[in-house]
């Protein structure tokens, strides 16, 4: 069961493992729910066992629970991956993947091998999902030559009972899961390593395309198109406050809304129609035409899946999907609890299932019976999973219901506590009775042609809502609930006692309000994740990465927590939709996800799934490369915008930083401008003058420009004058960097010296560049303290970064490790101090040997000369 020695260029041999039985995968949930005492050590496996997990935090939690009889090592994620420098998929040989040891992981692998040599047996306890299965497979392929028993364990919760259950029934590596992960990896690598270079060539460098991310961008762009094409329609609503005509009951006022006119739905489209209707209502008499009271139920939601956890985190707390998953990962891997050590607080957080183990349901029932007996159902509610979901492990839940969020106040930080409260509350609510309320509807008819409707709602039994502090007469707002952005329920309003046939009258004049229909809302993270899930695109474990990628690539941007497509995103989306209709087709992408699931279930072969995607994709790719995809770099789009320098109409072009405007008279006029969107459409970016800043070379005003490294000052006489200066200083936002009081002219040609910024910071350069390429360090204004030197302390670049030294080097070789500050030493009187750092704290130190003065940590360093 050995593996080949040269893994860098070959596919690792499969370790001889079998597909595990379903029982093995589910066994951790069929164990006792009782916690082992904190001092008890788990002993489900023999001594001398090596357990390999993914993260160091998880390793620490396992070490605390298992004790010294076990050795626990962390792989720190994937040990092996496809090579970064090439596609790594053999397209001509059954789509074999060419895995190599990941950069920086050789030392980790060596430590695991060393520990494995002295172990009696090896347990692979990476996460219980596709990625975790692939990690276990790659580790096994590296350790099979040791001839040690290698077993797979699925740890669903990092508690004594969960770990004992996992170790008691070890299984084997699920090769179907491994193949499913390989198929997904192959598809993503094929798309990324073939489409991205095409986009670099046709649009700009640094772009990327992805099998799922590109569909997500398309959804955002399509929604934006809907919004742009939407035409709002005006409509009016009319409400009327009423009361019984009986004077003794005149205080029983209630509000009703106009519902029907002449028996048809009330549709009022203009202000004139609204005024006419109001005038008619003022002359009408009204009576109660109908009363109905129905008991309604509000069912609790199922326990959380990965997708719903991400959606609720975004909706309630405005967390990104990435942040929500990072917080959940911490809760799963373990948090330091007083007297208990590192303890896992929730079960595994990557799951599509709403199923709960029977023992988990009993745990919830026990807690509810003790604390909320009125909300305990006769039997535990059961929730049905969606068709085709992966049911390897149960829904996300707390490992111990008794560990309430309130008991963790002051132990968990605010964000961790919010996510834990969300999971804990969702779990318990799912096992409680529904909320019951009485919905009353009253129909009021006028003696002409108008019908009003009033509704009221009264809580009968709060059911699961009692967990949020809501009683029959109370509507307390809690952190997980309305205060955090949860959709508000209907108002708890009660109607007065009314009788059918009773006369009622207006208590105040009718109120008419104008409205307009609204376009569909732009996606936020919660709604985009929900859309992807409903359409079967991607998997919940990938959504956080997708959200981050489309933002990082600048295909979309967030404004007011909503996704807006950028011009770059819409351009790339248009090119991909035109050239790769299948790749950007929602139904096609969803079908591919189903095929990947079929590979995991053993119903489809890895190579067939990849081939079903690659064959149509390769045809589209060949067509795009042959000229089917437009080359924006070689195109220029005419505009009606005049060049600010010569008046020639500008053209829109694409460069390495996106779209920009260039003079149509190029190369005679080389004026360029960034594009900004205005109310009248795209326009050249206005370049503000920097007040009081004059070009030292030609005397024209300096203006603010944007370049690859941010903003800077440039002469308004460009391209005739190419003088530039940094603005604002790095790490600041304010006025331009002031020039030193006196700057001698260029020693080579006598021209003016100007401040410029390069890869190593600011420096002085001759204004006659490129004819004269003289440069000098930017002076600090602090004189060298060596007697008779006359030099000045200036910044210099060395092997270990920036340091400061005398400008008369090599005649004077004085150097200083920190930036000089024009402040005399209060201890020895030295002319200046230098900045130093200890960790994140900055302080001032005297450079004079033997003095030893240091300012206290946090003391204001002073003004730099």
* SS3 state at 659: strand
Give yes or no: 137 in active site: no
- Contact 131/180 with Cβ under 8 angstroms? no
Environment class of residue 370 by beta-carbon count within 10 Å: exposed (0-12), middle (13-18) or buried (19+)?
exposed
DSSP secondary structure of 389-401? ---SS--B-BS-T
The beta strands (E) that lie in 307-446 are given as 335-337, 341-343, 435-446
End-to-end CA separation in angstroms for the chain: 69
* SS3 state at 45: coil
* SS3 state at 441: strand
- Contacts of residue 68, Cβ cutoff 8 Å, sequence gap at least 6: none
- Contact 175/17 with Cβ under 8 angstroms? yes
The dihedral through the CA atoms of 618, 620, 621, 622 has a sign that is positive
Q: For 797, what's the count of Cα atoms within 13 Å in the CB-facing half-sphere?
A: 9
Q: Which of 95, 123, 348, 543 is catalytic?
A: 348
799-813 burial, b if ≥16 CB within 10 A, otherwise e? eeeeebbbbbeeebe
- What whole-number distance in Å separates Cα of residue 67 and Cα of residue 74? 16
- What whole-number distance in Å separates Cα of residue 763 and Cα of residue 758? 8
Closest listed residue to residue 444, CA positions, set 238, 250, 260, 246? 260
Place of tokens 């170790």: 167
What are the C-alpha distances in Å from 729 to residues 594, 734, 762, 778? 53, 8, 9, 13
* SS3 state at 379: coil
How far does CA 219 lie from the centroid of its chain? 17
- Contact 700/716 with Cβ under 8 angstroms? yes
Which tokens go with 659?
A: 């779209």
- Contact 441/433 with Cβ under 8 angstroms? no
- What whole-number distance in Å separates Cα of residue 568 and Cα of residue 580? 17
Closest listed residue to residue 158, CA positions, set 169, 170, 149, 167? 167
- What whole-number distance in Å separates Cα of residue 614 and Cα of residue 572? 21
- What whole-number distance in Å separates Cα of residue 685 and Cα of residue 566? 17
Pairing of strands 649-655, 793-798: unpaired
Q: Which pairs count as long-range contacts for 703-712, CB under 8 Å and 24+ apart, including other chains?
A: 706/674, 708/656, 708/657, 709/757, 712/757
DSSP secondary structure of 768-832? TTTT---EEEPP-S-B--STT---BEEEEEETTEEEEEETTTTT---EESS-EES---TTT--S-
- What whole-number distance in Å separates Cα of residue 528 and Cα of residue 523? 5
Which residues does the annotation mark as catalytic? 348
């Amino acid at each position: 069961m050995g593996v080949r020695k040269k893994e860098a260029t070959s596919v690792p041999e499969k370790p001889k493992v079998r597909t595990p039985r379903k029982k093995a995968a589910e066994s951790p949930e069929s164990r006792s729910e009782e916690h082992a005492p904190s001092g008890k050590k788990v002993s489900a496996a023999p001594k001398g066992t090596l357990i390999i997990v993914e993260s160091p935090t998880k390793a620490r939690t396992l070490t605390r629970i298992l004790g010294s009889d076990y050795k626990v090592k962390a792989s720190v994620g994937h040990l092996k991956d496809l090579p970064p420098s090439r596609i790594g998929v053999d397209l001509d040989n059954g789509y074999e993947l060419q895995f190599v040891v990941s950069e920086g992981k050789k030392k980790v692998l060596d430590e695991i091998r060393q520990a494995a040599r002295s172990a009696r047996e090896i347990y692979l306890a990476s996460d219980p999902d596709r990625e975790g299965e692939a990690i276990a497979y790659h580790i096994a392929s590296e350790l099979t030559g040791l001839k040690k028993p290698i077993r797979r364990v699925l740890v669903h919760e990092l508690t004594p009972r969960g770990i004992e259950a996992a170790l008691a029934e070890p299984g084997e590596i699920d090769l179907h899961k491994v193949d499913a992960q390989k198929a997904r990896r192959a598809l993503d690598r094929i798309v990324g390593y073939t489409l991205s270079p095409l986009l670099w060539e046709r649009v700009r460098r640094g772009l990327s395309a992805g099998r799922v991310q590109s569909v997500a961008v398309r959804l955002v762009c399509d929604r934006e198109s809907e919004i742009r094409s939407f035409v709002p329609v005006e409509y009016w609503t009319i409400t009327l406050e009423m009361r019984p005509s009986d004077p003794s009951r005149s205080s029983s006022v209630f509000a009703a809304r106009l519902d029907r006119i002449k028996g048809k739905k009330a549709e009022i489209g203009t202000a004139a129609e609204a005024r006419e209707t109001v005038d008619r209502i003022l002359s009408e008499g009204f009576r109660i035409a109908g009363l109905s009271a129905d008991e309604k139920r509000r069912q609790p939601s199922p326990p959380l899946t990965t997708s719903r956890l991400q959606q609720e985190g975004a909706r309630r707390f405005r967390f990104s999907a990435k942040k929500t998953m990072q917080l959940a990962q911490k809760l799963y891997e373990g948090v330091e609890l007083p007297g208990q050590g590192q303890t896992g607080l929730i079960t595994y957080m990557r799951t599509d299932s709403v199923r709960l183990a029977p023992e988990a349901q009993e745990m919830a029932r026990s807690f509810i019976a003790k604390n909320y007996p009125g909300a305990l159902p006769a039997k535990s509610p059961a929730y049905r999973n969606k068709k085709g979901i992966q049911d390897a492990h149960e829904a996300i839940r707390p490992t111990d219901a008794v560990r309430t969020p309130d008991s963790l106040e002051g132990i968990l930080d605010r964000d961790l506590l919010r996510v834990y409260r969300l999971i804990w509350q969702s779990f318990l609510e799912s096992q409680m009775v529904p909320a019951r309320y009485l919905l009353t509807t009253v129909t009021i008819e006028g003696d002409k042609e108008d019908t009003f409707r009033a509704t009221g709602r009264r809580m009968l039994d709060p059911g699961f809502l009692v967990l949020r502090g809501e009683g029959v007469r109370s509507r307390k707002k809690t952190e997980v609930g309305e205060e955090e952005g949860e959709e508000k329920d209907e108002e708890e309003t009660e109607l007065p006692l009314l009788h059918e046939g009773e006369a009622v009258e207006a208590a105040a004049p009718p109120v008419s309000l104008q409205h307009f229909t609204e376009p569909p809302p732009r996606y936020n993270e919660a709604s985009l994740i929900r859309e992807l899930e409903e359409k079967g695109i991607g998997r919940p474990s990938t959504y956080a990465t997708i959200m981050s990628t489309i933002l990082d690539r600048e295909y979309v941007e967030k404004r007011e927590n909503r996704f807006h497509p950028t011009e770059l995103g819409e351009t790339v989306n248009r090119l991909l939709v035109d050239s790769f209709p299948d790749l950007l087709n929602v139904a096609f992408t969803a079908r591919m996800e189903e095929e990947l699931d079929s590979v995991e279930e053993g119903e489809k072969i890895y190579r067939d799934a990849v081939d079903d995607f690659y064959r149509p994709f390769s045809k589209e790719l060949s067509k795009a490369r042959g000229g089917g995809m437009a080359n924006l770099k070689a195109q220029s789009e005419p505009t009606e915008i005049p060049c600010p320098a010569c008046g020639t109409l500008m053209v829109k072009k694409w460069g390495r930083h996106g779209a920009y405007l260039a003079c149509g008279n190029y190369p005679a006029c080389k004026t360029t401008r960034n594009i900004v969107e205005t109310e009248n459409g795209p326009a050249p970016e206005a370049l503000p003058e920097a007040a009081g800043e004059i070009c030292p070379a030609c005397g024209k005003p300096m203006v603010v420009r944007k370049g690859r490294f941010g903003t800077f000052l440039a002469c308004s006489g460009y391209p005739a004058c190419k003088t530039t200066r940094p603005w604002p200083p790095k790490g600041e936002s304010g006025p331009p960097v002031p020039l030193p009081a006196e700057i001698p002219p260029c020693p080579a040609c006598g021209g003016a010296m100007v401040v410029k910024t390069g890869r190593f910071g600011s420096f002085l350069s001759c204004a006659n560049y490129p004819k004269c390429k003289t440069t000098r360090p930017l002076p600090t204004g602090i004189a060298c303290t060596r007697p008779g030197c006359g030099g000045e302390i200036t910044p210099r670049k060395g092997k270990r970064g920036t340091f400061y030294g005398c400008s008369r080097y090599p005649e004077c070789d004085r150097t200083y490790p920190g930036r000089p500050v024009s402040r005399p030493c209060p201890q020895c009187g030295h002319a200046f101090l230098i900045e130093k750092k200890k960790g994140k704290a900055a302080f001032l130190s005297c450079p004079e040997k033997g003095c030893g003065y240091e300012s206290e940590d946090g003391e204001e360093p002073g003004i730099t000369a």
